[in-house]
A and B are shown apart, each in its own frame.
Chain A
Amino acid sequence: MSKKGMNRRQFVKAGLMTAAAAALGPAVLKPTSLWAAESKVKGPIKLGYQTVLSGTLAGYGEFHKMGAIMAMEEINTAGGIAGNKLEIEFRDSTLKAPDAIQNARYFVDSWGADFLAGIDSSGQALALAPVMAELDRVLMVTHAATEKLTEEQVFKNGVKQIFRIVTPTYQDGNAAAFVAKDLPVKTWATINPKYEYGFTCWNMFKETLSALKKDVTFTAESWAPFGTTDFRSHINTIMDAKPEGLYSVEWAGELITMVKQGIQAGLFNQVKHVMFPVGAAMDVLEGLGAEMPDNIWISGRYYFLYPNDKSNNDWVERFHKRWQHYPAYVSEGAYSTMYAFKKAVEAAGSKETKAVVGALEGMTLDSPAGKRVFRKEDHQAMYDVPWGLTVSNPKYPFKIMGKQVMVPAKDCFARPPFEGPGTKPPFKA
């Protein structure tokens, strides 16, 4: 009861401050924007980063932080962003939408953030979109994967402040379907998360695979609520349906638990073709170690051994030296985010939202994951991540990708305007 009162007071305070900021904002900011082209960027550059730092998924947040901090250290040692120091403040996103909004408002209204980044949950990303338009700061999404964010919020509703540096559900649904079409599998089933992300991916996988291959059927679905620790009933459902292929975007600890319980139940002896679109995440590879079965198809938003070139291999080595971990995909996303902002601010000669949005649109970024291009229409970064089959390697205490298949982003990412013929894969050459 007293809690409610406190919230209301905070709410009123936040509301007043926002109103004041909105009233003062244009008047205060105008002169800077006029002179932005000639005047140098005034620092420091402040970036508010929110990710999950509590609960069972807190490990993900730590991996975000490692990437972001490492980039900040490197950038500041090398002279900062346009001569200004980069400062990052981290806050716990808790995966709940109201907390994400509160954090964003705190960052911008109280702390004075120039840029925002982070966000793990699709629900949070969608809830933040209108808030970012109002706060008018660029938000670089480094994990949340729903395609609705870029297709609907950025492209359709024109929320220009949002960009996404990592692959969205296209990689999990569409790219998986391209890999699946070449497998000797006619019946597919799924154990998937019982929320937005799980539903979207399974639908995308079904639609794209049906378009690519005529004689496939989808025989069983078992939906596991967030926080499932016992997958045995779900595994029973799949084993009763006897599919030839299993598709699952379970992730993090839940994927680890599901695989371990699947091994105990003999799931992987019965179902020979298994696809885990986010199975190449470092926490899963490390968490399962040698227990991960061989010949499972895995992918992610970045895979630490791809591309196998000097730039990426050097980065992985530096990262391992700094943190005694191999980089998770969220680490790479957070790391590259800092360099994306550096490049955009320096190109625009300004840290102002409008100028930075203009610089980011269509910008090419050389990053550990390879060359990224921020698509102008929907602000989605285009880059390629491989799919591969798990195999042991004496160099690592966990399974890595053996045989790899590449489905390029240009073939599996939906294309603007996202509606009507020719916007969804497969595309005609």
Chain B
Amino acid sequence: MLQSIVHVCLAGLSQGMFIWLVASGLTLIFGVLGVLNFAHGSFYMLGAYFCFMVLRALGENFWWGLLLGPVCVAAVGYLVERFFLRRVYGLELPYQLLLTFAFVLLFDDLVKIFWGAASIGTPPAPGLADSIMILGRRFPSYNLFVIAVGPLLALGLWGLLEKTWAGRIIRASSSDREMASALGVKVPTLFTAVFVFGTWLGALGGGLAVPYLGLLTPGMGEQIIIEAFVVAVIGGLGSLKGAFLGALVIGLLSAFGTRFLPTFDMFLTFILMAGVLLWRPQGFFGEAR
């Protein structure tokens, strides 16, 4: 029983960390730019495909792919923000949603044109291809790596936002855009920077997913973006702390649900979201608006 519980916990934690990686970029972009970016799941997908492309080109080494792939996607994010998204900041929410949704369709088709519609099998990560024994059952070492990366990234983000000059500017602009602008912050440049960084986070999630899922499929961003949205809503849209906690809760809930309450496993996540929306609509750490 102990073996079973520990392994379900580990499965839930690694699941949660992926959702966190995607949700962090999503919620950061919403917090600062006020844009609900539907295309964020596509950046996750592109992160995986670019990672694959780089690792193919550089001798099947996943680590090069993880290092360079998300950077390429961040460049794509730059183009999207600079030439498209920037034009709709002043418009109503539906225009932003439509535009980002258009990018979802566009990226799905581009992936199909460049890499084909069939799923592509991918190699494991060098050095972490093995499993280690935990209480008599094997657990992939790569997943332990993912479980470690999640909190490290959270810590890094926290440090960046709370302890650096750039972080203070970001926080200032997100709480009052006009005042920040009046005080000399170049808000458009800041928005581009934050969007590019958020894109990189989503793409990093995709890159990390390559050895974990073992295959790439067009449309692979669709499932994760729904979970990331749920997590962002539960945690409070715009709150990184909330997204981290929300991802942990959803990951563990879904793992325990699958193992111990299999009839209701899909249900649990949405029950939680409905509950949060009813009794704490701003989410765990969201500010009431």
Q: Which residues of A contact B (CB under 8 A)?
A: 53-59, 61-63, 194, 221-223, 225, 227, 229-230, 232-234, 236-237, 239-240, 252-253, 256-257, 260-261, 264-266, 283, 286-289, 291
Provide 7 A-B residue pairs closer than 8 Å at the C-beta atoms, listed in order of the A residue: A54-B219, A58-B117, A59-B119, A62-B117, A232-B143, A233-B259, A236-B4
Nearest CB of chain A from residue B50's CB, rounded to whole Å: 18
Report chain B residues within 8 Å CB of A221. Answer: 262
The reply to whether A222 and B262 contact each other, CB–CB distance below 8 Å, is: yes
The reply to whether B138 and A256 contact each other, CB–CB distance below 8 Å, is: no
Report chain A residues within 8 Å CB of B230. Answer: none
Which residue in chain B gives the minimum CB-CB distance to A292?
Answer: B121
The reply to whether A264 and B117 contact each other, CB–CB distance below 8 Å, is: no
- Residue of B121, B137, B223, B258 touching A233 (CB-CB under 8 A): B258
Measured CA separation A291–B120 after assembly (Å): 13
Known: A56-B119, A233-B254. Contact between A266 and B137, CB under 8 A?
yes
Q: Chain A contact residues: over half helix, strand or loop, or mixed?
A: helix
Measured CA separation A232–B212 after assembly (Å): 11
Task: Say yes or no: is B116 at the interface (Cβ < 8 Å to chain A).
Answer: yes
Known: A54-B108, A55-B219, A256-B119. Contact between A229 and B213, CB under 8 A?
yes
Known: A264-B138, A265-B131, A283-B118. Contact between A233 and B218, CB under 8 A?
no
Measured CA separation A227–B254 after assembly (Å): 14
Nearest CB of chain A from residue B113's CB, rounded to whole Å: 11
Q: Chain B contact residues: over half helix, strand or loop, or mixed?
A: helix
Known: A56-B217, A59-B116. Contact between A256 and B262, CB under 8 A?
no
Nearest CB of chain B from residue A198's CB, rounded to whole Å: 13
Report chain B residues within 8 Å CB of A230. Answer: 11, 14-15
- Residue of B119, B143, B214 touching A252 (CB-CB under 8 A): B119
Q: Which 9 A-B pairs have the closest CB atoms?
A: A59-B118, A260-B214, A233-B258, A232-B11, A58-B117, A55-B219, A266-B138, A264-B140, A56-B217
Nearest CB of chain B from residue A363's CB, rounded to whole Å: 33
Known: A55-B222, A59-B116, A223-B262. Contact between A265 and B137, CB under 8 A?
yes
Contact code string B83-107 (vs A, CB < 8 Å = 1, else 0): 0000000000000000000000000
Other contacts beyond A62-B116, A227-B223, A260-B213: 12, CB < 8 A? A54-B108, A56-B119, A56-B217, A58-B219, A63-B118, A232-B143, A236-B7, A237-B262, A239-B137, A256-B215, A265-B139, A283-B119
Measured CA separation A192–B30 after assembly (Å): 37
The reply to whether B258 and A234 contact each other, CB–CB distance below 8 Å, is: yes
Task: Say yes or no: is B112 at the interface (Cβ < 8 Å to chain A).
Answer: yes
Measured CA separation A53–B140 after assembly (Å): 34
Report chain A residues within 8 Å CB of B65. Answer: none
Among B4-52, those with CB < 8 Å from A are: 4, 7-8, 10-12, 14-15
The reply to whether A56 and B219 contact each other, CB–CB distance below 8 Å, is: yes
Nearest CB of chain B from residue A71's CB, rounded to whole Å: 20
The reply to whether B131 and A264 contact each other, CB–CB distance below 8 Å, is: yes
Report chain A residues within 8 Å CB of B258. Answer: 222, 233-234, 237
Which residue in chain B gives the minimum CB-CB distance to A1?
Answer: B94
The reply to whether B117 and A229 contact each other, CB–CB distance below 8 Å, is: no
Report chain B residues within 8 Å CB of A56. Answer: 119, 217-220, 222
The reply to whether B219 and A236 contact each other, CB–CB distance below 8 Å, is: no
The reply to whether B215 and A253 contact each other, CB–CB distance below 8 Å, is: yes
Task: Say yes or no: is B160 at the interface (Cβ < 8 Å to chain A).
Answer: no
The reply to whether B140 and A265 contact each other, CB–CB distance below 8 Å, is: yes
Report chain A residues within 8 Å CB of B247. Answer: none
Which residue in chain B gives the minimum CB-CB distance to A61?
Answer: B117
Task: Say yes or no: is B148 at the interface (Cβ < 8 Å to chain A).
Answer: no
Measured CA separation A236–B14 after assembly (Å): 14
Task: Say yes or no: is B266 at the interface (Cβ < 8 Å to chain A).
Answer: yes
The reply to whether A233 and B117 contact each other, CB–CB distance below 8 Å, is: no
